[in-house]
Chain A
Amino acid sequence: MRYYAYYPGCSMEATGLPVEKSIKAIAKPLDLEFIELEDWTCCGSSPFAGVDKSKAIGITARTLAQAEKTGLDLVTPCSSCYTILQEANDLLKEDHKLAERVREALSAIGLSYNGTVKVRHIVEVLFNDVGPAGLAAKVVRPLTGLKAACYAGCQQVRPSYGFDDSEYPDWLDQMAQSLGAEPVNFPLKARCCGSSLVISESDVALDLIHRLLQNAQDNGAQCIVSTTCPLCFTALDVYQPVVNGMFKKKFNLPVLAITQMIAIALGLDIKASALDGNVVSPQKLLKPFLTSKPQADKAETPA
């Protein structure tokens, strides 16, 4: 069993819930344990940094200090939290004046941070600590022939923290392939979904989501396998009907978080995979796999 400090991020308690449920479901079968930080608070995300960066780094530092006490790597499934935590971690080492002010602020709440935390994205943990071969070894329901456009989005691979390729990443593709699926070429796989503007400049964001869906469909994808980022997942899934209305399209591309896809391949049921939380239902597309009998020799105890 491998242990990690876990920081879900705010969206995982709301729009990202299907992803969160699937993460909880696959952890044990993959011998991973994600220990949620107690009483964690928001990372601030881009908007708070746009209001006041120093304060934003101060509130992020609370999370880093909490994680440091556990002595474990800090894992998050949200790409925005990932980037914010990484950047704060770097700046607290590089900008000594800022670090000093943050140190004083943290001491006022009885915390300290010495810069020792390693911040990790859950997709990177799945790729490096479990790996495509490790996943393949546990597959009881191979998703043979399922054509998938694998979407990494922005902040998982940029700015680069040594995680996959920042222009044309393929770690999600490798993992999807290890589950039996067939990744298709997807030129826009690391382009932005625009989710930070989906409320205030929705036309701009919907235009970006439209391009992603069109590109995936044009390349023969039957579904999109997305990063665990709840913002990317929601943009592609929840806003797909809105894009259809605005651009007079008929997209019906189920969006599976990589962790939902892993859950299905591990033989978990619809509820554990949280497929019932997806707005664009993947159940018809996945029916042949969901009704197939898991290969008995590798089957896990039912969840």
Chain B
Amino acid sequence: MGDNAQTTFLDEVAALPACDKINQCIQCGVCSGSCTTAMHWEYPPRKVIAMVRSGLKDELLKSNSIWFCVSCYLCTTRCPLDIKPASIVHGLESIALKEGYKPPTTTTTMYRTFSESIVNNGRIYEFGFMFKYYLQTNPLAALKMLPTALKLLVHRRLPLTPKRVKGKADLRIIIDKLSAGVGK
């Protein structure tokens, strides 16, 4: 999980797309007050930003914070300085995943299986990615979901085979091309 010696945690975050205004934050707390799921975060959004600026990388990325973001954009729409807290949170997620942090949530596995589904099929294969997610986390939890899955099947809303599209080859090329020098 080593930091690059020349680059601070703050630099690393600020270099990600749509995260460059983090230095303008005035710590007013509108983001934390607006956040739909703040009660579940170990450190709510305002503190997340303060921790990035203080270099508390391990403490932050080992916590469950950021993984409860539901992308509702209340923070982003209301932020008086337009710093885009939701983009910063998603940027932090990508750092945590890349550097192998293990926060106490299975949302990390959901993100991975979801993204793999895109790369493998070109489009999300809902049944397949959910199946893989449950297999990798808690297969017993899948049993709890069975009645819901059956309802979807009965109403013809859960195709059991992926719709693979030719464009998936394009996606692989795009991803390969953008793999060099991740971040910027």
Contact = CB atoms under 8 A, between A and B. Distances in A.
Interface stretch (B2-10, B22-30, B46-54, B91-99): B91-99
Interface stretch (A22-30, A34-42, A177-185): A34-42
A285 interface: no
A267 interface: no
Interface string B26-55: 000000000011001000000000000000
Interface residues of A, number: 70
Interface in A203-230: 204-205, 208
Contacts, number: 204
B99 to A, nearest CB: 13
B94 A51 contact: yes
B150 to A, nearest CB: 10
Interface of B: 16-18, 36-37, 40, 68, 70-74, 76-77, 84, 86-87, 90-91, 93-94, 97-98, 105-107, 109-112, 114-115, 118, 122-124, 126-127, 130, 133, 137, 147-148, 151-152, 155-159, 163, 165-168, 170-171, 173-175, 177-179, 182-184
20 contacts: A11-B124, A14-B126, A42-B124, A45-B124, A46-B90, A47-B110, A49-B94, A53-B16, A61-B174, A80-B71, A154-B70, A155-B73, A159-B84, A194-B37, A197-B37, A200-B107, A201-B68, A204-B37, A205-B70, A279-B152
Interface of A: 10-11, 13-18, 39-42, 44-55, 57-59, 61-62, 80, 83, 87, 91, 95, 97-98, 101-102, 104-106, 108-109, 154-155, 158-160, 166, 191-192, 194-197, 199-201, 204-205, 208, 234, 238-239, 241-242, 276-279
